[in-house]
Structure 1
């Protein structure tokens, strides 16, 4: 079972499973016009999954030694702040609104995982500007181009 001996192999299998599920749910008995965005996303995920599997297969021959046990897959200290932001985002999404909640979630991720801390004023302003531009692009993409209805709340 060489496919369960490294992080890359496990990630490739999980990604392939998610891609398969996304393809099935987006193409099975759905209206083509209404489900255009999910179909595009499913096809992109599938292409990325196939690319990842090809990369893993090519790199398997180069790998010399596998350990007998599974590698440590999760670094909880790194992952927990992102999970906390994700749970708070999901909780506030319907109450506050999609765009405002997404802005604060994206800004929080930039602050938590960014290279510089927020004591550097210039970097803090840069992260704020990047988050604002990201939300403008997201709004234009979803609202104007794809005509996707996003959850609304007290704020936009």
Structure 2
């Protein structure tokens, strides 16, 4: 027999080495799986946030449609008061939803901004072309007619949102 003082230690090392390698592999596999799980949860969270953003922007665009705007506020307002309140409401809601641009493409966000600006422009253009003695009902009728005579930019943007949502999800 070999009279080597380190023989028991070498024997223990040879016996323990496969177990140490196995434990190391197990730990690395476990860490890798946990990282994949975290990635999946992050992607799922981003996907849910993106869907929520599409919903909020769609709701904003629906509220921006002139057919919905004309039903707001008291019927006894003067046209300029109505315009002031509608413009204030649109800008407040737009500001509230501005963070959703993080989840939209640049082009789609640009279309949303254009919808808001075009609606405000249409409000003011309609008011400028109105007679001084016109009532709010007259203003609302002309406003709706002007929108219907133009391209339906809001519905087109909503349709673009739908298409992009299908592509992303």
Shared fold, TM over 0.5:
no
The one of the two structures with greater contact order (alpha-carbon pairs below 8 A, sep at least 6) is 2
> Radius of gyration: which is bigger?
2
TM-score, normalised with respect to structure 1: 0.30
Higher helix share: 2
TM-score, with length taken from structure 2: 0.29
